[in-house]
A and B are shown apart, each in its own frame.
Chain A
Amino acid sequence: MRVTNRMMTENAIGHLNENIDRLNTLAERVSSGKQFRSASDNPSAASASLVLRSTLKTTQAYLTTAQNSDEWMSATEFAFKQMSDLGTRAITLAKQGLSDTLSGKERRDALGTEMTAILENAVDIANSSHQGNYLFAGFKVSMATVPFTLTGAAVTYSGDTGSLQREIGPNQTITVNVNGDTAFTPLFDALIDARDALNTNNAAQIESAVNALSAAMDTLGGVRTTNGARQRQLRTGIDRIEKTQIELKSLLTQKEDVNLAEAISLLQNQESTYKTVLEVAQRTISALNLFDYLR
């Protein structure tokens, strides 16, 4: 083929451009640490990485929710523990009240007073809140009055039966609250009975109050167990989410991130190629021709 000077120059420039473009791509890869800059560089990997990033974000949201729910349930459990201690103390007091060695005044002054304190304490615990939200009021986590109010002969519940649902995975919801009314009202009734019986020195009523207290404690224990079981389930969930997260992150890295060692060595390789191309171009562009030799 007949080769002209312009052909040589144009080819040299073409090759220079090609090589510097490649150099630029590789340099960008190394400096950004990403395999692609836009979807067109690698459409399938870009699509996969978009999905992975979405999933990762959603998973993070699930994790936050699950951790918050865990705190809520721990607060619930703590309230139950206090309530249960109070209940046990109340049963002990009531049983002391059955003893024949005590006088009516003693029953009223010593035992009745403490029972009153226990009752008030119990109502306070039932009104406990977590981060400004009542634990045992159903959906009415915030309202003008407290969920449980003690008015002499009875404790009234002004919450509702709403169960707070939290999503901790796609279509996986758990209930984080327990119904305060179911859990505590029998105990409050029994405590009021016991207080009244101690104050009025009524042995038969004390006896029935002891039984009622035991039954209420059973109910309380049952609800507490439910909460505990849910919390265990939740913690398994958290564990699973955390593992999924690690898995997703490593997948995302595989799709997106550059193998730095490989990228750098490719870059270096390309650099030396470019140097060679420059060397060759210098020769072809400034190539001697016959004019230099004829005289």
Chain B
Amino acid sequence: MSTLFSGIHLALQSMLAHQQAIEITEHNVANANTPGYRRQEAILAAGHPYGLSGLDHSIGAGQMGTGVTVEKIKRFSVDFFDGRYRRELAESKRWEAAYTVLQQIEGTLNETGSDGLIAKLDDFWTGWQALSADPNNTSLRADLYDRSVALTEAFHWRAQALDYIRRDQDLTITQRVQEINSSAEQIAHLNQEIARVKSVGDQPNDLLDERDRLLDRLSEIAGATSYLQPNEEVIVSIGGHTLVMGKDNFDLVAAPDITIGNLVKVTWADGQSFSADTGELKGLFDARDIHIKSQIDGLNSLAGGLITRINTIHQSGVDLNDVTGRVFFTGTDARTMRVDSALSNLSNIAAAGAINSPGDGSVALQLAQVQRELLMNGGTTTLNDYHNSQVTGLGLVTLKAHTSAQDRGLVAKALSDQRESVTGVSMDEEAANLIKYQRAYQAAARMMTALDEMLDKVINGMGVVGR
């Protein structure tokens, strides 16, 4: 049988339930800008009803309601979007990372500017061309010498700049590996907490948010994939190797490796090799080990081809002192290439084809014509065209990275918007909810006042007839 006291209890429960709902609204508003936060909602449910006992049936109908309770705190999440979103995010970060590096190379080398290597090569060729027309002219010789030195310096500078940019990536790679390790540790810890909270029947909403945020970040860095287990723990793996399993995490190690020129190599702590299929690390590795490397290799084979051919012809020529067989360049690649020091004495530059012929520029002419010789790519390309295709190749790769980053970024953005549309906090909604709960709270308080008055009547106003 219902009593007036149970009515007070019912009103109190309603006040408490709405107070909690208001607190949840407050939590939502407070976290409107927190990254990874997903809005929560109090799920109100009617209390368990009870039937009137047979004895009481004569005074009313059965199944009395018992008011309201907060049944659970719901977290708005869409696990379905998470997987797709993280895949696209990883791809867009992969290309973005590569683009940043490639853009840096393009900007540094500035091959399309007037200071490009092709311009320096052309200066070299035209230097020989001019000398061939007036072989014993000292100022032309000095000019050619200066141009040749400028050419070798252009080679060095490029080789060095590429090497620096390449090594710079190691710093980022190391930092990212550290971030993966610490995130993995946090996730392992969160797994444990979440499973514990779940086991007592509560919703670990904010812990889940934190774990999802870390999972987002891990996919950004290395394209990590996760699998949710029935006990709400996640298994995280990168490139087929487990990173987190339950409360355990497996570390990655980044250390310089002698076999790849002391560049940083990433391996699993258990010795297995690490490979990221996507994500920022993939972009960085691609840039470092494929794109920059091919630029360095191209530069070296260009320098090598140039040195060999120029030396062969120059050695066949005769200088103004009737000496033959001098090399023009020393060194073998872009880094070691130098103009032979003997040539700083300008009369040692060989331009003639025979002794005692200061007016003969036939060898200088032959050297100028190396410009048109098909020396590279197995005798199909000139030196200039070889470098031109290097420059264009880099341009194309950069362009591809840029457009891929943009395209994938747009897809990720669209998915993120969809996710946000479900999980994000809307101020208008919260305002409306706040009012809704506030009014219900006020009404419950009024109810309690009414019941209080009724009790007052019973206690103080009854049984005083005729007093």
Contacts and interface: CB of A to CB of B under 8 A. Distances in A.
Contacts of B354: 139, 162
A69 B119 contact: no
Contacts of B106: 38-40
A39 B394 contact: yes
A204 interface: no
B275 interface: no
Interface in A233-283: none
Contact of B126 (A38, A57, A137): A57
B427 A140 contact: no
A294 B431 CA distance: 8
A285 interface: no
A164 B422 CA distance: 84
B431 A290 contact: yes
A2 B116 CA distance: 53
B391 A50 contact: yes
A39 B391 CA distance: 7
B360 interface: yes
B1 interface: no
B388 A133 contact: no
Interface in A18-42: 36-41
A165 B361 contact: yes
Nearest to B371: A58
Interface stretch (B4-12, B128-136, B182-190, B219-227): B128-136
Nearest to B132: A167
Main secondary structure of the interface of B (DSSP, over half): helix
Interface string B264-278: 000000000000000
A162 B389 CA distance: 41
Interface string B362-384: 10010011011000000000001
Contact of B356 (A140, A170, A173, A177): A140
Given A65-B129, A139-B357, A164-B361, A43 B396 contact: yes
B427 A138 contact: no
B358 interface: yes
Contact of A290 (B103, B110, B136, B427): B427
B133 A38 contact: no
A2 B422 contact: yes
Interface stretch (B253-261, B413-421, B447-455): B413-421
B402 A7 contact: no
B133 A65 contact: yes
Contact of A36 (B107, B112, B427): B112
Contact of B112 (A1, A7, A46, A60): A46
B359 A5 contact: no
Contacts of B389: 47
Interface string B89-125: 0000000000000110011001110001011011101
A41 B398 CA distance: 9
Contacts of A131: 134, 137
A3 B431 CA distance: 15
B336 interface: no
Interface string A100-137: 00000000000000000000000000000001010001
A180 to B, nearest CB: 12
B112 A166 contact: no
B365 A165 contact: yes
A294 B399 CA distance: 52
B45 interface: no
A245 B118 CA distance: 19
A288 B125 CA distance: 69
A61 B130 contact: yes
Contacts of B432: 290
A289 B116 CA distance: 56
A6 B338 CA distance: 59
B399 A43 contact: yes
30 contacts: A1-B421, A2-B424, A4-B420, A5-B426, A6-B32, A7-B420, A14-B413, A39-B112, A39-B395, A40-B102, A43-B399, A46-B391, A46-B392, A47-B389, A47-B395, A49-B112, A53-B119, A54-B118, A57-B122, A58-B125, A58-B129, A61-B126, A64-B133, A65-B129, A65-B133, A164-B360, A165-B365, A289-B428, A289-B431, A294-B434
Given A40-B397, A53-B119, A142-B358, 12 more contacts: A3-B426, A6-B33, A43-B392, A44-B392, A58-B122, A58-B129, A58-B371, A65-B133, A141-B358, A162-B357, A162-B360, A291-B427
Give 8 closest A-B pairs by Cβ, nearest first.
A39-B395, A141-B359, A4-B424, A139-B357, A40-B398, A290-B431, A61-B126, A289-B427
